[in-house]
Structure 1
Amino acid sequence: MKIDVKNIDVEQTQQHGLPPEVFKATEIFDKECDAVFRQGWVSLASAQQLPEVGDMLPVKIGNASLLIMRGADDTIGVFHNICRHKAAPLVDSACRKRVLVCPYHRWAYNLDGSLRAAPKYYGDSEQPMSAQDKADKGLLPVRSAVWWDTIFVNLSGDAEPFEEFIRPLDQLLEGYDSDGLRMISTTEYQSSANWKLAVDNFLDGYHVPFVHSQAVTLDSVMNQEDLFLSDNIAGLRLPTGASDKPAKTDKPLPHFRHLTEENVGTQQWFGIFPNTLLFVDPVWVQLIIVRPEAPTAASETLTIYAANPESMADEFAPQREALSAALNEVNQQDIELLDKLQFTRTAPEASQGHLVQAWDQVNVRFHQMWLQKMQAAEG
């Protein structure tokens, strides 16, 4: 069944969620790639995945192929992962290089994206390529920003300044010292579910004590608070989410530096539309970046951080390993659930579901964010 997003009724989505077709239709996915993933600020990776000068990481998101590089000045740059000659892909996997050479015709690029050389550019002449001819043939740059170690890009180049986009969340988290984040692990996941189901599930606190009963009890989520920060950011807070859980070790990881007493026991998690999922605990942070690949395929990068640099000491190695194992277990449970949900959520009968006022309002907000972007693109 073909669906026109202009005809999706907002009130119906508040009661029943988005129509089943939007989780499987190819035409919807194609529109999303442009209306959602090219227009706003989307996340690609963690900056700590590229620790050294010359580190390169190719990332595909929607219909864009991108390349992240740490430049000679130690800053992160993002470019389209295509050679300026005949658009050949430049990098297939993570690597470290001082000069980037296209495998097709050996055009070479510097770490700032500028063209370094093109062999035999003038044919038989031994004359080196002139600076003038090189000037307009560098890699195509992508507008980017790094916040909380997360690399964001705006492919269209005309979204609001990133500082304005992220300000509501940045202000909410101003008591957390994100400069102290240290990566513990990063894990790649593959899902056969639509990307929106992954985001929707992350913003669903209702399922947590049932699907992840090894980690959370029902009582611990009963004081859940909804957080609506902007047209692009929503989340949830458990004021005692960390403090009401029994300690699993007599030497827990240290919490964020300079953390206020108010936040020592608080857990908060956020969806930054469209694909950035951030969980903030007093002693650890979890970042999930969801990348759509097809209507029924998405990849996820799960990165786990210690909130305090002191947590990286050898004495805390067992605690770090246990934390990583526990959070990856939770995500694997979600992946298995999503792969099954993809089939039932796209059945016609799924349109008769009923969202719950007490638990599903953040999900409703996510649906509205998606619908607003898609309908705006239709004009």
Structure 2
Amino acid sequence: MSPAQPIDELLAAASRPLENARAMPPSVYTSTDFLQRELEAIFSKEWVCVGRASSLPNVGDYMTYDLAGQPVVVLRDKDQQIRAFSNVCLHRMSTIVEGSGNKRVLVCPYHAWTYGLDGQLRGAPFMTETTGFCKESYRLPQIRCEEWLGWIYITLDESRPSVAQELREVEEMIAQYEVQNYVECFRETHVWDTNWKVLAENFMESYHLPVCHAATVGGHSKLEEMDCPPGLRNFNYHWITKEASLAIGNAHPDNTRLEGRWRKTTALLTLYPSHLITLTPGYFWYLSLHPKGTGQVAMVFGGGLSPEFMGDTRAEEYVSSLKTLLDEVNLEDRGCTEKVFRGLNADAAQPGHLSYLERPIYDFMQYIAERTAGFERSFALAAE
């Protein structure tokens, strides 16, 4: 495969009108050259979600994330501020901390160079006789880090507009939920054997629910009632209004914020490039994706309840039932998305026409084409 093939095929697919749209070509999922373009043009430039701020409640709490080849540590400092730094020691360039936890200081596991929660080097054993060494001149590079509606975002782009500016439209759209007050009850990390775009596309369309999720949520999904509006510049979305399969899917009786149909409406949001949110009146769950090669995707998976359900005497039961359901749904999604990636690698693989219920995939394809190939998107329909 030539390096130009995925670009040429993607531009051709993105240029098709919606009513005759097809899925993205296999080459954009399987080409290592195209993946490198995605890392350079998307993941090293965009805001990427790493989790909820509530998962770092105490001074010294931290989590790690690898963003476009840059290991990052996100932590709560002594001033109770959430900050992000390069997670690479300034001595021999080992990564410093792994996973998540709590640290009073960050100690490199290689030679015990020690950094404070402000990134400043505090200690370096056996360096006093090294001419020119000055401990005060060593500070971990800071990574841009912002909070938005309770989520933490990081970016490697120093000039990128703020998260709040880029997501202003979606914030206005979901303001009535007040998701910033929802409480995260679990956060996990996983790796699946599929391409990151396959998993993202799986999230942003509900067309597959009755089939892939027949044993769980599929039976509660009425496809004819789903609304898939045109996407906007930084996100796409669709709505589902229904009686929920879980009590926590509709508004709690104590919820006075939501009225009318909003008490039964779920928002499914894809915040580009890879923050995927299901937001209901009573609970939320989300994924944040990052490629690990063409055939693997690293995933942050988290979720929790609205404040009314968290204050309910049955809160523990509600959390348990939500987590049990989502684990089953994820198992189903993993099977479906890994099958898709295996199929994409077949010589006979060809993209078929998209359903109108897959409108978000069409918008996502044009976003990918814009970022990687210079495609010009139009938002005339979204403005009407």
For the structure 1 residues 83 and 222, does the alpha-carbon distance in structure 2 shift closer, same or farther, using more than 3 Å as the test? Answer: same
- For residues 325 and 207 of structure 1, what CA distance do their matches in structure 2 show? 20
Letter in 1 for 2:175: E
- For residues 174 and 305 of structure 1, what CA distance do their matches in structure 2 show? 18
Distance apart, 1:84 and its partner CA: 1.6
Match of 1:183 in 2: 184
Asked whether 1:346 is paired with 2:345, we answer yes
Match of 1:42 in 2: 48
Match of 1:157 in 2: 158
Asked whether 1:373 is paired with 2:375, we answer no
RMSD: 2.5
Distance apart, 1:247 and its partner CA: 6.0
For the structure 1 residues 139 and 175, does the alpha-carbon distance in structure 2 shift closer, same or farther, using more than 3 Å as the test? Answer: same
C-alpha contact 1:90 1:101 (8 A) present in aligned 2: yes
Match of 2:82 in 1: 76
- In structure 1, runs of 5+ residues without a counterpart are none
Match of 1:107 in 2: 113
Asked whether 1:116 is paired with 2:118, we answer no
Distance apart, 1:255 and its partner CA: 7.0
> Could you give the per-residue CA deviations for residues 215-241 of structure 1, whole angstroms, max 9, x where no partner exists?
133762312112445212001111x23
- For residues 162 and 181 of structure 2, what CA distance do their matches in structure 1 show? 25
C-alpha contact 1:255 1:307 (8 A) present in aligned 2: no
Distance apart, 1:274 and its partner CA: 0.8
Distance apart, 1:6 and its partner CA: 4.0
> Could you give the per-residue CA deviations for residues 180-239 of structure 1, whole angstroms, max 9, x where no partner exists?
21122223332110001000100111001221123133762312112445212001111x
Matches within 5 A, 1:134-283: 134-213=135-214, 214-217=216-219, 220-238=222-240, 240-241=241-242, 244-245=243-244, 258-283=257-282
Match of 2:381 in 1: none
Letter in 2 for 1:359: L
Letter in 1 for 2:219: T
Distance apart, 1:136 and its partner CA: 4.0
Distance apart, 1:11 and its partner CA: 4.5
Distance apart, 1:352 and its partner CA: 4.1
Matches within 5 A, 1:122-137: 122-123=128-129, 133-137=134-138
C-alpha contact 1:279 1:287 (8 A) present in aligned 2: yes
Letter in 2 for 1:216: G
Question: Which runs of structure 1 show a deviation greater than 4 angstroms over 4 or more consecutive aligned residues?
Answer: 246-249, 251-257
Match of 2:288 in 1: 289
- For residues 247 and 336 of structure 1, what CA distance do their matches in structure 2 show? 23
Letter in 2 for 1:237: W
Letter in 2 for 1:223: E
Letter in 2 for 1:360: E
For the structure 1 residues 122 and 245, does the alpha-carbon distance in structure 2 shift closer, same or farther, using more than 3 Å as the test? Answer: closer
Distance apart, 1:324 and its partner CA: 1.2
- For residues 45 and 140 of structure 2, what CA distance do their matches in structure 1 show? 20
- Farther-moved stretch of structure 1 (114-123 vs 198-207): 114-123
Asked whether 1:24 is paired with 2:30, we answer yes
For the structure 1 residues 256 and 144, does the alpha-carbon distance in structure 2 shift closer, same or farther, using more than 3 Å as the test? Answer: farther
- Farther-moved stretch of structure 1 (287-296 vs 197-206): 287-296
Distance apart, 1:174 and its partner CA: 1.2
For the structure 1 residues 288 and 110, does the alpha-carbon distance in structure 2 shift closer, same or farther, using more than 3 Å as the test? Answer: same
Q: Percent identity?
A: 22
- For residues 153 and 280 of structure 1, what CA distance do their matches in structure 2 show? 22
For the structure 1 residues 327 and 26, does the alpha-carbon distance in structure 2 shift closer, same or farther, using more than 3 Å as the test? Answer: same
For the structure 1 residues 152 and 228, does the alpha-carbon distance in structure 2 shift closer, same or farther, using more than 3 Å as the test? Answer: farther
C-alpha contact 2:42 2:371 (8 A) present in aligned 1: yes
For the structure 1 residues 104 and 337, does the alpha-carbon distance in structure 2 shift closer, same or farther, using more than 3 Å as the test? Answer: same
Indicate the SS of the match to 1:360: helix
For the structure 1 residues 91 and 245, does the alpha-carbon distance in structure 2 shift closer, same or farther, using more than 3 Å as the test? Answer: closer
- For residues 48 and 184 of structure 2, what CA distance do their matches in structure 1 show? 21
C-alpha contact 2:183 2:307 (8 A) present in aligned 1: yes
Asked whether 1:33 is paired with 2:39, we answer yes
- In structure 2, runs of 5+ residues without a counterpart are 376-384
Indicate the SS of the match to 1:344: helix
- For residues 272 and 307 of structure 1, what CA distance do their matches in structure 2 show? 21
- For residues 12 and 130 of structure 2, what CA distance do their matches in structure 1 show? 68
- For residues 254 and 23 of structure 2, what CA distance do their matches in structure 1 show? 38
> Could you give the per-residue CA deviations for residues 37-86 of structure 1, whole angstroms, max 9, x where no partner exists?
01111112222332221012121233221111111122211111101222
C-alpha contact 1:182 1:305 (8 A) present in aligned 2: yes
Q: TM-score, normalised by structure 2?
A: 0.88
Match of 1:2 in 2: 2
- For residues 322 and 3 of structure 1, what CA distance do their matches in structure 2 show? 47
For the structure 1 residues 255 and 25, does the alpha-carbon distance in structure 2 shift closer, same or farther, using more than 3 Å as the test? Answer: farther
For the structure 1 residues 256 and 342, does the alpha-carbon distance in structure 2 shift closer, same or farther, using more than 3 Å as the test? Answer: farther
- For residues 72 and 295 of structure 2, what CA distance do their matches in structure 1 show? 21
C-alpha contact 2:10 2:24 (8 A) present in aligned 1: no
Work out the number of aligned pairs and report it: 367
Asked whether 1:91 is paired with 2:89, we answer no
C-alpha contact 2:63 2:99 (8 A) present in aligned 1: yes
Q: TM-score, normalised by structure 1?
A: 0.89
